[in-house]
Structure 1
Amino acid sequence: MRRFLLFLPLVIFLGIGFFLWKGLSIDPTELPSARLNEPFPAFEKASLTEPERMMTVADLKGEVALVNVWATWCPTCKEEHAFLNQLAKQGVTIYGINYKDEPVKAREWLKRYLDPYAEVVLDQDGKLGLDLGVYGAPETYVIDAEGVIRYRHVGAVDANVWKDLQRVMAQVAGGAGA
């Protein structure tokens, strides 16, 4: 028993070392989506641009598209906004979810920085974001024509990220899935 006690600190040290080593091999930017390959969550929320009109998940269906979660309080959202405008000009369908924001500020933002979105869902209370598993803005999802989530990107969309999103969108449009 005494011999075992002599080796106990070594065993503990090796155990802690293993878990630390294992933790270093995990990519902290890779956040799994609980909704991957599942239908976009059902919702009924007001349109940001037409507050009297209620939107549902049916408004997001029909083609392979991007869904971008954004807010005016998010500095990274401002950083990616010009690139989203470029994508929209190229014909990419982008739906917006205005996340935990003030509608007046969000509408002013879209007037000032232009509006790349086909439609914008107002998620003032954050419930839709919670149902999606949003960690924070910005987040961008690729959805297929039936409204199934095929890919998730956390962070700003730029030219490098667009290459990945474009590849996934092409796979989804071709029926290969992601």
Structure 2
Amino acid sequence: MMRGFLPIIIFIGLGIALAISLTKDPRRLEAALIDQPFPEFSLSSLDDPDAILTEQTVKGQISVVNVFGSWCVTCNVEHPILMDITKDESIRLVGLNWRDGREKARDWLDKRGDPYDVIVFDPDSELAIPLGVSGAPETFVTDETGRIRYKHSGAISFEDWEKTFLPLLKKLEAE
């Protein structure tokens, strides 16, 4: 008799699991690296293959690290917001060009504008994997010591910038 109810019980269990997963905002994924040092890396700059960038790139001042790619549709949506954000020259925006070709990425930025102070070129996910990047765009905030203080998955909206990023940046500046 219990065998007849087993498919119903499994179906109900899967339905409950699905319902719970749909209540979570995928843009607010918890990052295992929060309050951890930015991962060590040694990668070239997008603009100069001979210029090697390391984790020191995000140390010494508060940085906003944005993962993007020319292939990323959502990055097209987010890009005008990044251009607007960096009109405030006190914001240090570090780009992480992920899974891209150097020329494609440069052409993409030449057409849309380049909001980044420096761009790390990561075609083979050498930095993206240790950062736990699951898709683009993703954005991290690091403090002056290079510790990751926040991770945002998905495109940044003006509302996200005003309500989450700016208060965090002001808090980090005050520390």
TM-score computed with the length of structure 2 as normaliser: 0.87
Check 1:98–1:24 CA distance in 2 against 1; reply closer, same or farther (3 A cut): closer
Check 1:111–1:19 CA distance in 2 against 1; reply closer, same or farther (3 A cut): closer
Instruction: Show CA shifts across 1:54-102 (max 9, x none).
Output: 1001022111120000000001111111111111121111000000000
1:109 and 1:120 map into 2 onto residues whose CA distance is: 13
Check 1:24–1:70 CA distance in 2 against 1; reply closer, same or farther (3 A cut): closer
Tell me the residue number matched to 2:81: 83
Moved over 6 A (4+): none
Equivalent position SS for 2:136 = coil
Tell me the residue number matched to 1:66: 64
Deviation at 1:161, TM superposition (A): 1.1
1:20 and 1:108 map into 2 onto residues whose CA distance is: 41
> Equivalences for 1:82-161 in 2 at 5 Å?
82-91=80-89, 92-161=91-160
Check 1:20–1:77 CA distance in 2 against 1; reply closer, same or farther (3 A cut): closer
Check 1:138–1:22 CA distance in 2 against 1; reply closer, same or farther (3 A cut): closer
Equivalent position SS for 1:55 = strand
Check 1:28–1:55 CA distance in 2 against 1; reply closer, same or farther (3 A cut): closer
Amino acid at match of 1:96: G
Q: Give 5+ residue unaligned stretches, structure 2.
A: none
TM-score computed with the length of structure 1 as normaliser: 0.86
Q: Does the CA contact (< 8 Å) of 1:144 and 1:150 recur in 2?
A: yes
Equivalent position SS for 1:165 = helix
> Equivalences for 1:34-49 in 2 at 5 Å?
34-49=32-47
Q: Does the CA contact (< 8 Å) of 2:26 and 2:153 recur in 1?
A: no
Query: In the comparison of the two structures, how many residue pairs are matched?
Result: 172
Q: Give 5+ residue unaligned stretches, structure 1.
A: none
Deviation at 1:28, TM superposition (A): 3.6
Q: Does the CA contact (< 8 Å) of 2:142 and 2:150 recur in 1?
A: yes
2:174 and 2:145 map into 1 onto residues whose CA distance is: 14
Q: Does the CA contact (< 8 Å) of 1:150 and 1:172 recur in 2?
A: no
Aligned-residue CA RMSD (Å) = 2.3
2:167 and 2:120 map into 1 onto residues whose CA distance is: 26
Deviation at 1:30, TM superposition (A): 2.5
Deviation at 1:23, TM superposition (A): 3.9
Equivalent position SS for 1:84 = helix
